Structure 1
Amino acid sequence: MTGATTIDGFAKRIRSGEGGLISAWIGIPDPLFVNHLAQEAFDAVVLDMQHGVWDIGSAAVGIGQGRLAGKPVLARIPLGDFASASRLLDAGASGIIAPMINSVSEAKAFAKATKYLPLGERSWGPTLAMNHTGLSATKYLATANEQTVAIAMIETRAALDAADEIMRVDGIDGIFVGPSDLSIALSDGANVAPDTAQVDGVLKHLIARCRAHGKFACVFGSNGERAGELLKMGFDFVIAGADTQQLRSGAATAIAAARRVQAS
């Protein structure tokens, strides 16, 4: 799928269970960086507004740059910033990832901000989204809840305990596991070890719970190889490393190649 079909069909595709989706992850707040990575064979792009340094204005332009390149753009909002969630959807985001959703009440508040009635109470004002989609107001209102996704992050002990209840909340379309924070939680703050057998056991459990509730499962992979392992594990949507890691890895590879040739 390419262009508008890829973007408009993203929500249906991630809900379908076909799996295999790989996304870029961008914290560097430059919309042109989005356009460059969107030219690659990623299925989507995620703007990280929690630990990256995007603001609403730059993110709105980043969403437009991603869509210009034919890719759906999602955004991870700052902690608890559900007001930004609806504004990013208004700007044309295909989905919102909310960090640290630890309870049913937080899941309901998230769904309330991202879904129109009857699922939520998202306020009307999707001017850019309608520009991007070409839909009339009536058509956008009728389809927005299905064509955008609300993804709750599971990354603490409290979230693990409430995972089934969070997945039962109407308007929560899927979950996103943060393995680094999860590993900190499981070790009671002793270490950051996202790629371990202990974490893998929890990941497999959460995939099974997603299947039971008819929700999709997303996860952050520290690099491409790890992303492949997570896809084989059964995740529907994975990150293949962050922009900064890919940028530095590419630079290191180029420098090493230059020095190798120089020394030969």
Structure 2
Amino acid sequence: MALPKLRSRLGEGSFVLSCWLGIPEPLVHEAFLRADFDVATFDVQHGLFDVGSLRVAIERAVLLNKPALVRLPIEDRSLGARCLDFGATGLIMPMIETAEDARAFVSAVKYPPVGLRSYGPTRAAQLHNYGNRGGYVPEARIETLAFAMIETAAALDNLPEILAIEGLDGIFVGPSDLSIALSGDGTLDPGSEKTEATIRDLAASAAAAGKIAAIYAMTAEDAKRYRGYGYRMACVGSDFGVLGAGAAALAKAASA
């Protein structure tokens, strides 16, 4: 077992589907990890994880042969490097608004010469079966991914400069926050025409810059539509949503 070759999958024309997990419950993780998702994304920004539960979640994903991505808290670049040391394959940094933001993110999570990630992948090397920890480093330079979340008006204004940052592998679009930014009055409407058009444009801009376009999709239908726009990865739904909808459907069916 070595670091998952997620980069090649995202770049070869295939579409990668990720579950979205915010509940720090091992049995919930296992249910999603055993389902037919390609990747598991753990949401620390708005989820319920602490560092301990996040470490165990990443380990569980790796041991069940699924790449682990982590959406970090805003500006928590040090946790990003720790997540990679825990065994994660990729990171999503929210609220990237400028090239300077993107550059600082890359610097913290990429090994030299691209960045300044500190060396110490003891657990990552164990989990990914590198007998020599040094063997992890050259592969991590290629196979660990950094995504800048694009969700504000400033990020849209500075998009060309953000996409030009060396070592930034792609962008991750958050339709909800993006819709708030585009509305002009703080209205949440991820299905608006303006938001939808911007989502299409972002995929095209990323492709033109040679970057990977990824996105959060609220529903399976959204994920399929975004795939048609050129997105290479979609994180669909959430554990909170699936559990809530499943419980409600079961109760309704049983009481009808």
User: Structure 2 length normalisation: TM-score?
Assistant: 0.96
Of 48, 51, 55, 1:56 maps to 51
Output aligned runs, 1:217-232, within 5 Å.
217-232=213-228
Whether the aligned pair in 2 keeps the contact of 1:90 and 1:125 (CA below 8 Å) is: yes
Whether the aligned pair in 2 keeps the contact of 1:27 and 1:243 (CA below 8 Å) is: yes
User: What is the Cα deviation at residue 12 of structure 1?
Assistant: 2.2
Corresponding residue for residue 141 of structure 2: 145
Q: Deviations over 1:82-134 (max 9, x none)?
A: 00000000000010000000001110000001100000000111111000111
Give every structure 1 segment of 4 or more consecutive aligned residues whose post-TM-superposition deviation is greater than 4 Å.
none
DSSP-derived class of the 1:8 partner: coil
Residue 30 in 1 paired to residue 29 in 2?
no
User: Structure 1 length normalisation: TM-score?
Assistant: 0.93
Whether the aligned pair in 1 keeps the contact of 2:85 and 2:123 (CA below 8 Å) is: yes
User: What one-letter code is carried by the residue in structure 2 that aligns with 1:20?
Assistant: F
Whether the aligned pair in 2 keeps the contact of 1:32 and 1:62 (CA below 8 Å) is: no
Residue 166 in 1 paired to residue 162 in 2?
yes
User: What one-letter code is carried by the residue in structure 2 that aligns with 1:164?
Assistant: P
Output aligned runs, 1:146-225, within 5 Å.
146-225=142-221
Of 66, 69, 74, 2:61 maps to 66
Distance in 1, Cα, partners of 2:15 & 2:249: 27
Corresponding residue for residue 90 of structure 2: 95
- Supply the RMSD in Å over aligned alpha carbons: 1.3
Whether the aligned pair in 1 keeps the contact of 2:41 and 2:69 (CA below 8 Å) is: yes
Give percent identity, aligned residues only: 39
DSSP-derived class of the 1:176 partner: strand
Corresponding residue for residue 237 of structure 1: 233
Distance in 2, Cα, partners of 1:113 & 1:9: 21
Whether the aligned pair in 2 keeps the contact of 1:103 and 1:162 (CA below 8 Å) is: yes
Whether the aligned pair in 2 keeps the contact of 1:98 and 1:152 (CA below 8 Å) is: yes
User: What one-letter code is carried by the residue in structure 1 that aligns with 2:60?
Assistant: Q
Whether the aligned pair in 1 keeps the contact of 2:86 and 2:123 (CA below 8 Å) is: yes
Of 34, 38, 60, 1:39 maps to 34
Gapped runs of 5+ residues in structure 1?
Answer: none
Corresponding residue for residue 71 of structure 2: 76
Distance in 2, Cα, partners of 1:17 & 1:212: 15
DSSP-derived class of the 1:62 partner: helix
Whether the aligned pair in 1 keeps the contact of 2:204 and 2:230 (CA below 8 Å) is: no
Residue 123 in 1 paired to residue 118 in 2?
yes
User: What is the Cα deviation at residue 32 of structure 1?
Assistant: 3.2
DSSP-derived class of the 2:73 partner: coil
User: What is the Cα deviation at residue 19 of structure 1?
Assistant: 3.5
Work out the number of aligned pairs and report it: 255
Whether the aligned pair in 2 keeps the contact of 1:107 and 1:152 (CA below 8 Å) is: yes
Distance in 1, Cα, partners of 2:28 & 2:143: 25
Distance in 2, Cα, partners of 1:111 & 1:75: 15
